[in-house]
Every structure is written in C-alpha cells, then in structure tokens.
Structure 1
Amino acid sequence: MAAAHYYIWKRVVRDTTRPGRGRRVGTVAVVFLLLLVVGALGLQRAGGFGRVVAWPGFLWLAGVFYLTVLLGLLEVPRLVLLRRARRGRVPATVGAPHTTPGVTPDTAVDAGEVPPDPVPEAPEVDEGRRLFLARSLAVAGGVAAAGIVTYGATRALGDPVVKRVPVTLGKLDPRLSGYRIAVVSDIHLGPLLGRSHTERIVRMINEQQVDLVAIVGDLVDGSVEELGEAAAPLRDLVSTHGSFFVTGNHEYYSGAEQWIAEVERLGVNALRNERLTIERAGATFDLAGVNDVNGASFDDAPDFARALDGRDTSTPVVLLAHQPVQVREAAGHGVDLQLSGHTHGGQMFPFHLAVGLQQPVRSGLETIDGTQVYTSNGAGFWGPPVRVGAPPDISVVELRHNFAGR
C-alpha cells in the first residue's frame, strides 16, 4: 500500500505541481488516504466507528488498485509524448563559438591545438508543457479509475444475478430430475453489509421456490454479538427440504462454533463433515457437507471419509464445500457434484487471473478428475464494495437425469 501510494503521489502530486503550497497539500492528502486504508483494514470490526472508516477506506482501496494500474499503463504514452516534446529544441551549447583564451578556430590548427567538438546536451522539455502533459495524464487516469470504481460499486451493491444452472448426473433417478438447489455463498455480512442485504437474498431465494437451499460458507465477517441481528432473516428461508450450511474460512476468523449454533437456531442445518439422505417420490440422493480447509488450524478440519464413507454408491452424492480446491479430495471419494464459492469470481478484474494460482475453478461449472464442481461468484464482497467483471449471484442448480443414457 505504501509503495502504491508513493507511486500515485509521484505521478498525481509531484509531477503535476511546482514546489510550494499545492504540492504540500497534495502530499498531506495522499498520506491521509494511506492511513484511511490502513484504518479500514484494521478497524473494520470496531463497531460504529469502524463502519464510518470502512466505507471510504475500502472504496479508496479499490481506487488505489485501479489508479495504480491505469497510471502504469499510461507510462508508455507518457514516455512517447515526453520524447516528442524534446525533439526540435536545440540546446544553447550546440554550435557555440570556441572560447579558449588566445586560440581561435582559424589559429588552432597553426598552433597545433585542435579545438574540442562542442558536447550536445539533451533537449529539455519546456516546464509549462511538461506540467500540461503530467496533469492531462493524471486527470485521464483519475477519471477512468473513478468511473471503474463507480460502476463496480453499483454492481456489488445491487441485486445479485439469478443464474440457472442445469447439471446432469448419470446416477440420478428420473423421479428426481428437475430437483432445484439454490446455491448462495460469500454473503459476507460485516461493516458494509447488514440486515437489508440478508433480507434481499432471502427474498430472492424464496421467489425461486426451490427444493433446497445451500449456503456454502463465508456468511459473516464478525461475531454473533456484532452480526446476529443482520443474519436473523435467514430464519425466513423457505424450501421443500430445508436450508443447509457449511463453514467457510471467514467463519473461523469470526467464531465458527458460535456461528454454527446461531445458524442452527435460525433453522439452517449445519453439515459438519456429515451426510444425509434427500428423498422425493421414493427416489433418493445423498447430500453431504465438509468443513472448510482453514478449519484444520482450529481443530475442525474437513473429514471426507467421515462424511462420505459407507454410503450407497449407486445413488449420486452432492457435496457442499466452500473452496473449489476441495474437489481434488472429493473426486477420490466418488462425489458426483460439488457446490462451492470462495473465489468471488475474481471480484475485481484483473484479479481473475490470480484465482487460478490457488483454485481449479474461478466461476461456473467444470469437471475436475471426473467430479463436476459448480462455483458461485458469491452474493456479497470482501474488502472494497466493488465488483468488476464478476457480478454477485444466487445460483439455482437444477439436477437432471441423463435420459439419453437410459
């Protein structure tokens, strides 16, 4: 953050001003913005004051990212324009008369002395022209960054997109074809998202009239004491076979045991390395859930064997697991479909490119080692209230029988 702010100061403050009051004011402003980001990160769970700092701090965090990227891209035209501005300007020393005392160009040869060639100096850019160029590029980068952040904020804070995802399972009984599971992940209740966010998600899920609701981790960023009221609308979820929950990594930073007790109090069933049977019209499939991989640091590790061993392998199993990377182990236990979140779909382009360094799937439906895994973009956000290229979503996964294979 310090390096990014120094770069922004260099291009937006130092290059665009002359020494004096304006530069001092700009320097103080950049230092203040750096402290604002640090405060947002450090005080996001500090109650009312933390929320006051979080909103501008996290918005500026997104601004820092995009402004740094855009100014970096503008370095190329900046160098080209500066080079062109130097052309045609002749330095004062080029072509100046020989000034060695007592020796003139006409007598130098006769005296056995050859006058040195004048050394040309690099052409300089006129100060006014340099300032105009620096200010133009700073304004261009600032306006573009502000536009991107504003667009991203409207996407992040707006209604999630409802996605309909058909998934064919080879072992699914025809009587279960059309079974619908609402998948929601990464709600991230916290300093920026509260009760109204939960109410909106519950309303949108209930409108889909699904058979089952799966909340696949990262529900909260804070304790039950801080956010219990924000999570309360979960009690209003309506579906044929109920609502289910597995832990994400952020639950372990927020008091996982307390939150598991709280969601169960609200009527949402926590699956902790557990499996149960879902039945409709005499046909069944298994629903299982495993803890997040970060639970290992809190004596609550995922246990695939406990959740999946001993089941009837002639029926399909749908696994709830927060991180897509867990599909590697799930495939070894014969899981047919894994439902995940965690990635936020990258949240802010071009962070999409970094997701693949840790996770096998960024967003959508993929097949990994013979197991299908669906990854939701999530319904909330972490950090900046900004989404670019990865809109929030609630996914309705529809299980389908492979009639063509009968």
Structure 2
Amino acid sequence: MPVFVIAILSAVLGCSALWWLLADRLVAGRRARLAVAAYGMFQLVLVFGVLAARAAGFTLPAWAHGFALAWTLILLAPAVFLLAVALALRGLRGRGETPEPGRRALLGAVVAGPPVLAAVGTAVGLVQSRGFVARERELAVPGLPPALEGLRVVHVSDTHVGAFTRGPVLDRIAAAVNGFGADLVCFTGDLVNAEHEDIAAGCKLLSACRSRHGVFAVEGNHDLFEGAYAFRREVRGRGVDLLVDEGRALTIRGVPVDLLGLRWAADRELDDAFEATVRGFARRPGAFCICLAHHPHAFDTAAAAGVPLTLTGHTHGGQLMLPGGVGPGPLMYRYWSGVYEKTEPAPGALAVVSNGSGNWFPLRTFAPAEVVCLVLRARGPAGHRASLVPGPGRGSNARGRATASGSPDLSPRTVL
C-alpha cells in the first residue's frame, strides 16, 4: 500500500477517534452517547468498506461512496474543530453538571450538525449527479482558416464512469453530444473514476458519440489508478482512438487539421509530454492545430509552441465553488473553468477548460457538469474583461497573459 494512502487512512482514523471522544464529552445522556458511538463506528465501517470493496473488485452503492467522501474529505476536520471549540468554551467544570435546555440544544446541534449536513449533501449530490448542462458556445479563434468557419467541436471531459456516473446518464451524455451535429468530438480524460471494470461502459459511451471526422480521446489521472498499460490496451482494444503523446493528421473541408494528444502529466511534466508528442508526430506546415490534454496547465506549453486551441479538463470547475468564482478552482489552477486567451507573447492562443460531465465527488456547487459544443469563428466579440491576480506556478512573464471565462456560462474575463 502506498505511503500516502497509509497516511490518509491514519489521518482519517485519528480524526474519527478524536471526533468520537470530543462528541462523547459534549453530549448528555446514555442514548446520545450511544448515538455518537454508533455514528462513529458507522463511518469507519463505511470508509473501510468502500476500500475493501474496491480491493475485492466490486462497487458499493453510490450513497455509501458519497457519504464516506463527504464526511471524511470535507466535514470531519471542521467537525473536530467545532467540537474542540465548544468543549473549550464549556469548560471542564461543566462536565458533571446538567446544562440548561438552551445550552444543551446548542451543544447537540454542534455535535449533530456536521453528520446531518453530510447526509443532506450526499442526498442532494446523488440527485445532482444525474444531470449536466449541454450548451453551445461560439469561440472566436484568431487565424482560423476561412474554410473552418463554423466548425463544430464537441468537448467532453471527466465522465468518471463508476460510482456516481453510470447507467442512463451515460446514454443522455451521448444523446447530448449527438444532438450538436459535431464535426469533431474531443474527450479530455478521466473516462473512468478508478476501476477498470468500468472501462467497457466508458468506451460504449464514446463509441455511441457521432462525429463527421472522428471521436478522439486522451487519458486522465483517474484512468491510470489501476495501471496505465492496462487502461490504454483495453480502451484501444474497444475501438477508441486514444492519443498518448501522439497526433492525428486530419483533413476537414480541404484544410489540414492536426490533433495532438498528451499523456496524463502533472504540472512539472507537461513540457516533457508535449515535447514527446511533437517528436512522435510531425506537425504539417499551415495546419490548424488542436491540443488535447487532461491537465489545464498544458495550455502554457501548447500556446508557447504556437498551438491556437487547447482543450483540457481535470478541474471540475472547482467542484465546490462559491458565487463570484471563489473556491478551490482558482486557488489550485491557473486555468480552471471556461475560455482563456493568451495576450502575451503571441496573442490569440485559446484554451477551453471543461467542468466535466461526471463526478468523483457527490456534490457540486456553482460548477455545473457540462457538455459543450464549440462553434469556431474567425472573429467575434471581445467580451467583458476584468483583472485577476496571477495563479501559482510558472510566472506570466515566462508564459504570457490570458483572458479567461472561469465561469459556467463561458463569458470571458481576464486573468494575468
């Protein structure tokens, strides 16, 4: 078992034991203490049951995954903090006393609130996971060959076929893609959530998508959890055109179009992945080029190499966001949702970062799942632009500046 997995499980065990201890000290009465003990045991059984089921090769119901993730990844640490604060405020001298009814109700709410929130959030998330937004967006691409005016590129990403994305929703994703009348369908990684037993359903989805010039895919980090070689072999064996550091030379409306597909690479490895792709595929002079990558920071490398359009995913639009673009998305990524345009050093390079159409976590806020049809235009409105601070990682002087949407409706704004 990897060290980081052991560390995470140890942290979960430690926080769970601490929550149990603190909650037991705060509640009054035998029934309340038994309820705390039962919930603590239930969550530990749930977490380790999910892990054991995965190791045994089968999947527990979605509610079990969702409840375990919502509690351990989001609410457990804040719940421990709240209980510690409440216990400190109550003071040790109150341990043997019977609190007044109002105070007792408040302490009960502090103990019961996070578990109730986890249950409600999971229920909402399970309903939400069955839906996605299908929308069309006109994208002004400087230097687009005139013959490609109106080219329809459907961008799909992060289906995470598995616990939360399965069954009828996959058919509806395929139907949404086919409803756009695509010239190209581009899938930018995380076909499955983790288990390779779900590859068949994921490939069935991609095979059901229709396009005049093909359906092309790249891999994501979740796809490789059970091995890169096994994933690539099975996906290709099922007829999916998977690009791993390679390209495809297409001719669309008489215009050469080169697709570049990068293997999954983390931030520091993206340059190497792009260079390997270019070495293995000779870009044709004058060809319109589209780069497909899972990690959005591939935009920096592709734009610097003169690629006019990069399609990526991975971020889920920040997954749990607040209004106004506040949340994990911009904290973790330079490009996290929507459309970005470089302004330096070579103006005009574009990236589209998909929110993804599936889920690995059972709740989204202000980051809706989506399938987007990009209608390429040679020119179009500049749109509104507003300043943002630079994201972490490579500086803008080295990579240039960009304008970005970062919002579900893909309306542009500026990021440095």
Q: Which runs of 5+ in 2 are unaligned?
A: 1-11, 383-416
Relative distance call for 1:75 and 1:292 in structure 2 (3 A) is same
* Counterpart check, 1:148 vs 2:121: yes
Q: Please, what TM-score do these two structures have when normalized by structure 1?
A: 0.75
1:380 counterpart residue number: 358
The amino acid that maps onto 1:311 is R
The amino acid that maps onto 2:369 is P
Relative distance call for 1:236 and 1:164 in structure 2 (3 A) is same
Q: Compute the displacement of 1:181 (Å).
A: 1.0
1:26 counterpart residue number: 36
Cα contact 2:256–2:284 (8 A) shared by 1? no
- Give the match's secondary structure for 2:225: helix
Q: Compute the displacement of 1:39 (Å).
A: 3.0
Cα contact 1:343–1:362 (8 A) shared by 2? yes
Q: Which deviates further from its counterpart, 68-77 or 387-396?
A: 68-77
- Give the match's secondary structure for 2:105: helix
Distance of 2:190 and 2:57 partners within structure 1: 20
1:290-369 alignment runs, 5 A limit: 290-293=262-265, 301-302=273-274, 303-306=276-279, 310-312=283-285, 314-349=286-321, 353-356=327-330, 358-368=332-342
Distance of 2:136 and 2:77 partners within structure 1: 34
Distance of 1:315 and 1:285 partners within structure 2: 5
Relative distance call for 1:191 and 1:136 in structure 2 (3 A) is closer
Q: 1:9 aligns with which of 17, 20, 23?
A: 20
Relative distance call for 1:64 and 1:332 in structure 2 (3 A) is same
The amino acid that maps onto 1:14 is R
Structure label with greater radius of gyration: 1
Q: Which runs of 5+ in 1 are unaligned?
A: 87-121
Q: 1:132 aligns with which of 86, 99, 105?
A: 105
Q: Which deviates further from its counterpart, 350-359 or 237-246?
A: 350-359
1:162-181 alignment runs, 5 A limit: 162-181=134-153
- Give the match's secondary structure for 2:377: strand
Distance of 1:153 and 1:75 partners within structure 2: 28
Q: 1:218 aligns with which of 190, 206, 212?
A: 190
Cα contact 2:266–2:295 (8 A) shared by 1? no
Q: Compute the displacement of 1:71 (Å).
A: 4.7
1:40 counterpart residue number: 50
Relative distance call for 1:7 and 1:346 in structure 2 (3 A) is farther
Q: Compute the displacement of 1:4 (Å).
A: 4.0
Distance of 2:357 and 2:305 partners within structure 1: 29
- Give the match's secondary structure for 1:127: coil
1:133-282 alignment runs, 5 A limit: 133-155=106-128, 157-222=129-194, 224-225=196-197, 227-229=199-201, 231-282=203-254
Q: Please, what TM-score do these two structures have when normalized by structure 2?
A: 0.73
1:11-48 CA deviation, whole Å, 9 max, x = no partner?
Answer: 65431224x45414522430331231233245335333
1:391 counterpart residue number: 368
Q: Compute the displacement of 1:67 (Å).
A: 3.9
Distance of 1:25 and 1:238 partners within structure 2: 53
Cα contact 1:39–1:57 (8 A) shared by 2? no
Q: Compute the displacement of 1:362 (Å).
A: 1.3
Cα contact 1:352–1:362 (8 A) shared by 2? no
The amino acid that maps onto 1:51 is L
Q: 2:66 aligns with which of 58, 72, 87?
A: 58
- Give the match's secondary structure for 1:183: strand
Percentage of pairs with the same residue: 29
**Aligned positions, number:** 360
Distance of 1:362 and 1:392 partners within structure 2: 13
Distance of 1:136 and 1:220 partners within structure 2: 38
Q: Compute the displacement of 1:149 (Å).
A: 3.4
Relative distance call for 1:333 and 1:8 in structure 2 (3 A) is same
Relative distance call for 1:404 and 1:137 in structure 2 (3 A) is closer
Relative distance call for 1:12 and 1:329 in structure 2 (3 A) is same
The amino acid that maps onto 1:385 is P
Distance of 1:374 and 1:354 partners within structure 2: 18
Q: Compute the displacement of 1:179 (Å).
A: 0.7
Q: Compute the displacement of 1:226 (Å).
A: 5.4
- Give the match's secondary structure for 2:104: helix
The amino acid that maps onto 2:192 is V
Q: Compute the displacement of 1:227 (Å).
A: 3.8
Cα contact 1:37–1:60 (8 A) shared by 2? yes
Q: Which deviates further from its counterpart, 357-366 or 38-47?
A: 38-47
Q: Compute the displacement of 1:126 (Å).
A: 6.3
Cα contact 1:355–1:362 (8 A) shared by 2? yes
Relative distance call for 1:393 and 1:226 in structure 2 (3 A) is closer
The amino acid that maps onto 2:64 is P
The amino acid that maps onto 1:367 is E
2:386 counterpart residue number: none
Distance of 2:202 and 2:257 partners within structure 1: 33
- Give the match's secondary structure for 2:33: helix
Relative distance call for 1:224 and 1:6 in structure 2 (3 A) is closer
Relative distance call for 1:226 and 1:318 in structure 2 (3 A) is closer
1:98 counterpart residue number: none
